[in-house]
């Protein structure tokens, strides 16, 4: 069974398939979530609510949303990716999964992956390689995976 490598950030992701043995990676799918690149003010389609201040008549201040709109979009994209990975795993498209994303987005992915997928994650790298071209990306990731395989205890502590 082949391994899928998810390389992404909060607004774009690429899924690659690898049969191991340093063979060429195949791009399975590219996904784009441009809403994550927008400013909070562009995402908040309506004005913030107002709240009455206790001191002074008529003084009101804007209330901040509980979760910033940009974070809501990041969470939506991680959920979209998790659903896609879940479905593709169910139809036997891959066996193992490698996740490569910046630390914050990697955390969102961890939270949104189902239990069965979390068991299939063989490695995680908290780096932003989302814009690297495949010919630079593959050797970096393969070198990191080889180092991880040689000394998993040392790398887990880093």
The arithmetic mean of pLDDT across residues 106-129, rounded, is 96
The arithmetic mean of pLDDT across residues 120-143, rounded, is 94
Model pTM score: 0.76
The CATH label, of 3.10.180.10, 3.30.420.60, 3.90.1150.10, 1.10.1740.10, for the domain at 3-42+64-157 is 3.30.420.60
* Strands 50-52 vs 60-62: parallel, antiparallel or unpaired: antiparallel
Report pLDDT for 42: 47
């Amino acid at each position: 069974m082949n391994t899928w490598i998810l390389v992404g950030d909060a607004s774009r992701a690429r899924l690659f398939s690898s049969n191991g043995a340093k063979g060429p990676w195949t791009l399975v799918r590219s996904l784009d979530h441009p809403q994550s690149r927008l400013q909070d003010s562009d995402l908040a389609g309506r004005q913030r609510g107002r709240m009455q201040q206790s001191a002074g008549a008529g003084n009101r201040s804007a209330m901040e949303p509980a979760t910033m709109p940009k974070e809501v979009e990041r969470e939506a994209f991680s959920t979209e990716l998790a659903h896609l990975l879940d479905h593709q795993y169910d139809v036997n498209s891959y066996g193992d999964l490698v996740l490569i994303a910046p630390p914050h987005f990697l955390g969102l992915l961890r939270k949104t992956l189902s239990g069965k997928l979390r068991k299939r994650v063989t490695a995680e790298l908290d780096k932003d390689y989302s814009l690297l071209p495949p010919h630079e990306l593959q050797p970096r990731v393969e070198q990191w995976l080889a180092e991880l395989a040689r000394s998993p205890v040392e790398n887990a502590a880093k």
